[in-house]
Amino acid sequence: MSADELTLKDKAAIAGVGSTQYYKRGQSVPQLPMELAGKALMNACADAGLTIDDIDGFALYSMGFDTSLFSQWLGIPEVRFSALISGGGNGSAGSVGLAASAIATGQATCVASIMTLQQATVRFGASFAPKGKPGQTYSAPPSPEGNFIQPSGLMGPGNMFAVLAQRHMHLYGTTRENFAEVAISQRANAIRRPTSLQTQPLTLDDYFNARMISDPLCLFDYTMECDGAVAVITVSAERAKDLAQPPVYVMASANGGAGRWGQAITWMGMPDEYFASSGHRPAAKRVYEMAGVGPSDIDVALLYDHFTPMVIMQLEDYGFCPIGEGGRFVADGNIRWPDGGLPVNTHGGNLSEAYIIGMTHVKEAVEQLRGTAVNQVKDAEIALVTGGPASLPVSNLILHR
């Protein structure tokens, strides 16, 4: 088989994106989480010029989505593909790559990737807290591996990524001002958008006056807790040409990483060489190879931003600057829209628009490449989207118009 036949490049395209409105945590009640998913998917269908009857596959990530109940409710005529990238927010960008894989191999023709989130009953901020109690809104039950971390007080992802951030500061001289630049630049993007939950500018004073949550991270280094749903519909590149929107082609997608990255923040035994990283280096190399492009070809980057330092580490791992230079890269204004060399998270991201576990990043990339984004990057042709820095497998997606 030739390399052409083995690649995913340009075999599929995103035809539609849709969402619900975004809500602060718990405000979407009494709607059900799967109800939000259905509304988002219907909006994505309308965007594409398709109907629910066209959907025949689901390419998913993270927990909380039940294909069986969802298909039963909506009367999907025939489900031909349903698969999930293991883990949590790590798989957001990769779920679209999974959809493209299903289409390129003829398993399905019209595949939905959906995230729905309602944090009224589940709060991820304490997802590793000790002493799991039935019916509680937090915590993980003790496990043999968890025994080595839960007694320490690392109770949520923020505590754990703070440990990576502290090491990054120690090794490279990264500063809290650098973290603040990520938060402030994304807030500036968010407040121009009617969909954003954050509506006020963020100043450096606001940032340094905020309470510390887990040193070196303060309140504004953390994503918000939100409710809402986003759906993305992927079809073959051929079919996309006949639908309602200009196609946004899947150039490449990868998911994975080094085996010894492993459970990452919940074991802290990663090799020293890439401990203070996003875990994305192997997947970054693979996605660039598949796409046939490099960092200098990326016009806009939608980088998963659960915590500000992890944006900086991804800028390094995706080759936008040398390893260790991410802090200075953002300090120089590079990630600002519209004047920076690489506008990042033009929608405001998880930090300031809404946290729907990374799926808003895919939606924004599509809008950028259609030329309809609120904060449009001029003449954007190629966009990079990443899934959450987390345990294996981390994922990504390169799209072009």
Partner 1 sequence: MQGVLPKDIIELTPNVYTEPYWLATAEHRLILPRCTTCGTYRFPPGPFCWNCRAQEVEWIEHDGNGTIYSFTVVRHPVIPEVAEALPVVAAVVELPDTGGVRLISNVVDCAPEDVKIGMAVTIDWYDVRENTTIPVFRLAGG
Distance from C-alpha of 353 to C-alpha of 126, rounded to nearest angstrom: 22
Rounded to the nearest whole angstrom, what is the least distance from the CB of residue 164 to partner 1 in the complex? 7
Do residues 350 and 197 touch, judged by C-beta distance below 8 A? Answer: no
* Contact status: 326 vs partner 1 (CB under 8 A): no
* Contact status: 155 vs partner 1 (CB under 8 A): yes
Q: Quickly list H helices, 255-370.
A: 281-291, 308-317, 326-331, 349-352, 359-370
For residue 234, what are the β-bridge partners? 14, 111
DSSP-derived letter for residue 272 is G
Residue 355 falls in the annotated catalytic set: yes
Select from 111, 213, 229, 380 the one that contacts partner 1 (CB under 8 A). 213
Exposed/middle/buried for 5, CB within 10 Å: 0-12, 13-18, 19+? exposed
User: Looking at 164-172, 182-190, 201-209, 381-389, which segment touches partner 1 (CB under 8 A)?
Assistant: 164-172
Catalytic residue among 61, 222, 249, 304: 304
Q: Which amino acid is at 42?
A: M
- Residue 214, Ramachandran bin (φ over 0: left; ψ between -120 and 50: alpha; else beta): beta
Nearer to partner 1, 84 or 323 (CB): 323
- What's the length of the chain? 401
Residue 138 falls in the annotated catalytic set: no
Nearer to partner 1, 16 or 125 (CB): 125
Here the tokens at position 70 are 């969802």
* Contact status: 150 vs partner 1 (CB under 8 A): yes
Rounded to the nearest whole angstrom, what is the least distance from the CB of residue 163 to partner 1 in the complex? 5
Distance from C-alpha of 205 to C-alpha of 208, rounded to nearest angstrom: 5
* Contact status: 254 vs partner 1 (CB under 8 A): no
Distance from C-alpha of 353 to C-alpha of 187, rounded to nearest angstrom: 8
Distance from C-alpha of 192 to C-alpha of 10, rounded to nearest angstrom: 33
* Contact status: 226 vs partner 1 (CB under 8 A): no
Nearer to partner 1, 146 or 246 (CB): 146
Nearer to partner 1, 131 or 241 (CB): 131
Do residues 309 and 164 touch, judged by C-beta distance below 8 A? Answer: yes
CA angle (61, 281, 11) in 5-degree steps: 55
* Contact status: 105 vs partner 1 (CB under 8 A): no
* Contact status: 163 vs partner 1 (CB under 8 A): yes
Select from 29, 51, 170, 294 the one that contacts partner 1 (CB under 8 A). 170
Rounded to the nearest whole angstrom, what is the least distance from the CB of residue 182 to partner 1 in the complex? 18
Rounded to the nearest whole angstrom, what is the least distance from the CB of residue 173 to partner 1 in the complex? 13
Q: How many residues bind partner 1 (CB under 8 A)?
A: 46
Question: Among positive and negative, which fits the CA dihedral 127, 131, 135, 137?
Answer: negative
* Contact status: 260 vs partner 1 (CB under 8 A): yes
* Contact status: 121 vs partner 1 (CB under 8 A): no
Select from 49, 153, 333, 338 the one that contacts partner 1 (CB under 8 A). 153
Here the tokens at position 384 are 């990079």
Chain residues 269-288 in contact with partner 1, contact rule CB under 8 A: 269, 271-272, 275-276
Residues that bind partner 1 (CB under 8 A): 123, 125-126, 129-131, 138-139, 142-156, 159, 162-164, 166-167, 170, 211-217, 259-260, 267-269, 271-272, 275-276
Q: Show which residues are catalytic.
A: 304, 355
